[in-house]
Structure 1
Amino acid sequence: MEIPWVQDLEIYIRDLEPGAVSRWLEGQLDNVRLDDADVATVSKGTGLFNGAALRITLYPGAFGKRFTSLVIEGDELPWNSDLECARSAWRMMEGEIRCSLGEWQEGDSLDDEQWWRLDHRGEQQVVWN
């Protein structure tokens, strides 16, 4: 039976370290099953939040190869926005994390797209390139 995935969160992690996502998510979710030891290949996993199943996917090589896209899908999510998720990830990983401002739709041009960038300089809105 296919589970309907209603909501999703997506963040982009620069220069992802092996195991970093699973270590972070183990402190946020229950029953995390994600093998992210090889960050050069797509990794799929699962977790639970308030008893609800989540699907976790890592897509390496996003936006010029240095970023890995992390997508978390489920009926109920631990964060209300991509930015809240990015803040949580940044506190644990302390690298550069990016996420959309929330207005982007599939098919929109990315040329002038504004993103949140979280890093040692703080939170800033930037154009990706």
Structure 2
Amino acid sequence: MQDLEIYIRDLAPKQVSQWLEANVDNLALDDTDVSSVIKGTASYEGASVRITLYPGAFGKRFTSLVLEGEELPWGTDLDCARSAWRAMDTEIRCSPGDWQEGQPVEDEKWWRLDSRGEQKVVWN
């Protein structure tokens, strides 16, 4: 099972579903109200994909998006973040590598993708 996680700043309703519709099949995600946890499903290359949005991650401005499945459209968090940034044109952040829940983040640095480009930054 693979999982990808990105953080979307100032997520607007329907942004995630509009982006994912171009990358997965059979999308079932109602993200018209992004103020509470949202769960959805899709498929990719015949495999099931679970989608979860968690608002209020790292403060009120970011929403965590988690994609889980045997097959996913992107190989890394950074690849996923790049695709999301191109589609949503809002700041996207992700961990710098194969981070696991409970582990410290490498030097507390994260990838930040925005109009300034791609940079490793401290989250604050």
Bin for the TM-score computed over the shorter chain: over 0.9
1:8 aligns with 2:3: yes
Counterpart for residue 60 of structure 2: 65
- How far 1:103 sits from its partner (Å)? 4.2
Q: For 1:16, what is the secondary structure of its paired residue?
A: coil
Q: Which runs of 5+ in 2 are unaligned?
A: none
Q: CA deviation at 1:104?
A: 2.8
Amino acid at match of 2:67: I
Q: Relative to 1, partners in 2 of residues 1:110 and 1:79: Cα closer, same or farther, differing over 3 Å?
A: closer
Name the residue aligned to 1:3.
none
Give yes or no for contact 2:96–2:106 (8 Å, CA) kept in 1.
no
Asked whether the equivalents of residues 95 and 105 of structure 2 are also in contact (C-alpha less than 8 Å), the reply is no
- Give the percent of matched residue pairs that are identical in Structure 1 and Structure 2: 70
After the TM superposition, list the runs of 4 or more consecutive aligned residues in structure 1 that deviate by more than 3 angstroms.
Answer: 109-112
> Superposition pairs for residues 49-64 of structure 1, below 5 Å?
49-64=44-59
Q: Which runs of 5+ in 1 are unaligned?
A: 1-5
Q: Distance in 2 between matches of 1:62 and 1:111?
A: 19
What TM-score do you get using the length of structure 2 for normalisation?
Answer: 0.95
Q: CA RMSD in A?
A: 1.3
Using the size of structure 1 for normalisation, the TM-score is: 0.92
Measure the CA separation in 1 of the matches of 2:80 and 2:16: 12
What is the total number of aligned residue pairs between the two structures? Answer: 124
Return the alpha-carbon distance in structure 2 between the equivalents of residues 113 and 70 of structure 1: 20
Q: 1:43 aligns with which of 38, 43, 50?
A: 38
> Which of 59, 66, 85 lines up with 1:90 in the alignment?
85
Deviation at residue 58 of structure 1 after TM alignment: 0.2
In the aligned structure 1, how far is the partner of 2:60 from the partner of 2:34? 11
